[in-house]
Structure 1
Amino acid sequence: MSQRELSELTGCDKSTVSVIIKRFEGIGLVERTMGASSGRRGRPSESLRISELSGLLMGVHLEFECLRFVAANVDGRPFASIDRPLPTTPSELGDDVRNGLEALCNEVGRSLSEIRAVGMTLPGLVGSAGGLAESSNLSWDTVAVPDLLRTKIGAPVYVDNDSNASTLAEHLFGVAADLSDFIMLDGSRGIGGGVFIDGRLYRGRSGFSGEMGHIKVVKDGRMCGCGAPGCLSAYICAPALVARSRRVPGISKFSDILAAAEAGNPDVRYLLEEAGQFLGVAMATLINVFDPPAIALGGIIAQIWPYIENSTRQTIQQNAMRTPAREYEIRISTISNSQIPWGGVTLALEGFSNLHPTDPLPW
């Protein structure tokens, strides 16, 4: 857009916009181009855009089988990724992240010096200072992630829980882009989520909010990986669904469940309908507590939604208060199951562009 349009959009006077744009040009963040012709006589107007060569944002995803590295330009849109082996111990994390970032830079023909910010997602409870408090899936507890990375990476690093990062990505790039308030539910090996209130991700007193997978849906039910019985994750995450499908011939992994459901296998369809009931109980609780305008569903929940939608909606109607249950909507994520994950670069983008850098978990 043009400087005039920027002035109108921001409410800043033209001279202020001009000063800021000159500073941005000085650091290579924006570049000038000629705008498209309007069909009117005269020269096309000059426009500004973010330079694709103004730097890199990097996402680092500590997943259950690998470290996944994602590169994006400073607009936050991913364009390349690589996978590296998962560290066997937390002490190896700093070197492994550094080496992975270097490998990805080499692959895309860029340098480490171009990295403006790094966002790292962790599958567990992440404190407000960026440390991993606990992760039952990784069997890691009390890992001071900032201390492990501080001396290894020259760019600012922003660390958060993977579901919080997914929630933020859904707001910036996904189905919740037009919402200032919504709740996210997603996951794979476990179920997590995020709460977005008044245009901001709510992280809680210590950074541990959004653990939707540990809403109790069955009294004294199946044991969850957290060590407590009856959690939503114990019934609807991928390992739980696979374990509960063992009696069905040919089921050994989650993709087998999807294939069987698509083929109309009655046992698998029943299992998923039951999982939808458990999800409906949890969603009804969230509706009663938060009265959200929308709940976004991603990850494994988005994948099985065609088979659980009816039972989930019926259970919500049975358990949620009537008025809020009439006024919310369910939105299915279009980016949460992308081959290249968005969460890490979204954290990097939030940190890089935030006007209050002490706010979004930097260190």
Structure 2
Amino acid sequence: MKKHDQDFMKQQNRLTVFEIIKHNQPISRASIAKQTGMSPTTVSRIVGELAERGYLLESEQVSVGLGRRSTLLEMVDASVLSVGVELDRHQMIVGIVDIQGNVVCSGKYPRSAEESPDATLKLIGEKINQLTLLHEIDGNRVIGIGVGLPGIVDNDAGVVVFSVQLGWKNVRLAERLKEITGYEVVVDNELKVKALAEHLKGATKGSSRTALLGFGNGVGSAFIFEGEIYRGKTNSAGEIGHTTVDPNGMMCDCGKAGCLQTYINISSLLSEANKIRPMRTIEELFEARRAGERWACYLIERALMYIAITVNNVVCMYNPDSVILSVELADKYPEVYEEIEELCMSRFVWEPLRESFSIFRSELQEQGVMIGSGLLSQIKLFELE
């Protein structure tokens, strides 16, 4: 047990030094020791290991005081690459990201809603091969794959427990994708990895308590507290789309009546709209609203009201300093953001908390899940090395 504890501490120390250099570069060994409380000998040993693996670059010595000089350390961004994958009902995005979360290359590919898990995973393998060949990427620098998808995920076991949108249940995704590609694989909920990406690289970089709320084909949330994803007991924290707002309300895909998402998500809005006239896309519904059709105005304004209510409920429960709104179609219809913010601050957010947080728009947008998945892969697999 003592050997295990020592190994674990060494692993954690190495990860801590790695993250400090990554986010504070250029930085000296002395500064790392001061921030971490580690001895200069321990820091030098870890830095030596990282440099030997090609992760670090030492700059020329610079003066830091009277007669004292110090070498500054920086990350070699291309020293570590990972694959980030977003899986959705009708498409997937596959990309390769570097150690800073910069996208080296990516592609968006259609998939059938009825496609089997095995067919999808084989397609992911094919697209990774295509990207690495097309962009002449050394596969030896790719340390693993991260996959983000909608639904309940056992992230420790790499199993998709249940995904309504994909129609998957108990899929051993990490195990099967590793068999296909040969890479280590981590799997997580899409909003959790998107929140991680926004925290590390996007809208809320530096925030200590971030809540991300996602509204589109589904409704969900994710929380980053002190740099860590808040997961709950079964990694299902944040499934606010299935909180009940009306026990006598509309039926949800999950089998319950009156779930929050039945008042907000795209399929529910289109289902309601089709009671008035045939409508295939959410864009048609927004255009009907812009044309002043009262029923369309009602449906969208009701959805925006429930989004504002959701913001209030999350702020009251978790007291974040930052709330990110990730709303599909907001690029085409930017008035959505302004309306939600106005509803939040004028009507629905509890007055004592209105000044306690800032509202942000998703900065990474459709690349957020892919980037977050790739970064999570790097974090997890670096811990295991």
TM-score normalised according to structure 2 size: 0.78
Aligned length: 351
The Cα offsets for residues 241-267 of structure 1, whole Å up to 9 and x where unpaired, read as 344445788964234455566x57464
In structure 1, the partner of 2:9 is none
The separation in 1 between residues aligned to 2:108 and 2:320, in whole angstroms, is: 36
In structure 1, the partner of 2:320 is 292
Q: Name the SS for the 1:150 alignment partner.
A: helix
- Residue 364 of structure 2 corresponds to residue 335 of structure 1: yes
* Structure 2 residue runs without a partner (length 5+): 1-25
In structure 2, the partner of 1:24 is 50
The separation in 2 between residues aligned to 1:188 and 1:228, in whole angstroms, is: 19
In structure 1, the partner of 2:231 is 203
Alpha-carbon deviation of 1:353?
A: 4.3
Is the Cα–Cα contact under 8 Å of residues 280 and 314 in structure 1 kept in the other structure? Answer: no
TM-score normalised according to structure 1 size: 0.83
- Residue 216 of structure 2 corresponds to residue 216 of structure 1: no
In structure 1, the partner of 2:164 is 136
The Cα offsets for residues 56-87 of structure 1, whole Å up to 9 and x where unpaired, read as 11101112222321111122222311234537
Q: Cα distance 1:326–1:21, how it changes in 2: closer, same or farther (>3 A)?
A: closer
The Cα offsets for residues 286-323 of structure 1, whole Å up to 9 and x where unpaired, read as 23322333322113286532233333444424xx4x53
Q: Name the SS for the 2:232 alignment partner.
A: coil
Is the Cα–Cα contact under 8 Å of residues 217 and 282 in structure 1 kept in the other structure? Answer: no
Is the Cα–Cα contact under 8 Å of residues 312 and 344 in structure 2 kept in the other structure? Answer: no
Q: Cα distance 1:266–1:313, how it changes in 2: closer, same or farther (>3 A)?
A: farther
For residues 91-170 of structure 1, the aligned pairs below 5 Å read 91-128=118-155, 129-170=157-198
Give the partner amino acid of 1:72: V
In structure 2, the partner of 1:181 is 209
Is the Cα–Cα contact under 8 Å of residues 174 and 184 in structure 2 kept in the other structure? Answer: no
In structure 2, the partner of 1:346 is 375
In structure 2, the partner of 1:306 is 338
Q: Name the SS for the 1:169 alignment partner.
A: helix
Give the partner amino acid of 2:241: G
Give the partner amino acid of 1:211: E
Equivalent position to 1:62, from 84, 87, 92? 87
Is the Cα–Cα contact under 8 Å of residues 217 and 281 in structure 1 kept in the other structure? Answer: no
Is the Cα–Cα contact under 8 Å of residues 296 and 333 in structure 1 kept in the other structure? Answer: yes
Give the partner amino acid of 2:361: I
Q: Cα distance 1:229–1:270, how it changes in 2: closer, same or farther (>3 A)?
A: same
The separation in 1 between residues aligned to 2:131 and 2:145, in whole angstroms, is: 13
Q: Name the SS for the 1:152 alignment partner.
A: helix
In structure 2, the partner of 1:361 is none
Alpha-carbon deviation of 1:209?
A: 1.7
User: Greater shift after overlay, 15-24 or 223-232?
Assistant: 15-24
Q: Cα distance 1:256–1:346, how it changes in 2: closer, same or farther (>3 A)?
A: farther
Q: Cα distance 1:333–1:342, how it changes in 2: closer, same or farther (>3 A)?
A: same
The Cα offsets for residues 99-134 of structure 1, whole Å up to 9 and x where unpaired, read as 221111112211332211211112111124221111
Alpha-carbon deviation of 1:2?
A: 4.1
Q: Cα distance 1:278–1:2, how it changes in 2: closer, same or farther (>3 A)?
A: closer
The separation in 2 between residues aligned to 1:289 and 1:173, in whole angstroms, is: 26
Q: Cα distance 1:311–1:243, how it changes in 2: closer, same or farther (>3 A)?
A: farther
- Residue 225 of structure 2 corresponds to residue 193 of structure 1: no
Q: Cα distance 1:84–1:275, how it changes in 2: closer, same or farther (>3 A)?
A: closer
The separation in 2 between residues aligned to 1:313 and 1:220, in whole angstroms, is: 29
In structure 1, the partner of 2:299 is 271
Is the Cα–Cα contact under 8 Å of residues 209 and 225 in structure 2 kept in the other structure? Answer: yes
In structure 1, the partner of 2:116 is 89
Q: Cα distance 1:127–1:249, how it changes in 2: closer, same or farther (>3 A)?
A: same
The separation in 1 between residues aligned to 2:59 and 2:354, in whole angstroms, is: 49
Give the partner amino acid of 1:83: K
Q: Name the SS for the 1:226 alignment partner.
A: coil
Q: Cα distance 1:12–1:191, how it changes in 2: closer, same or farther (>3 A)?
A: same
Alpha-carbon deviation of 1:13?
A: 4.4
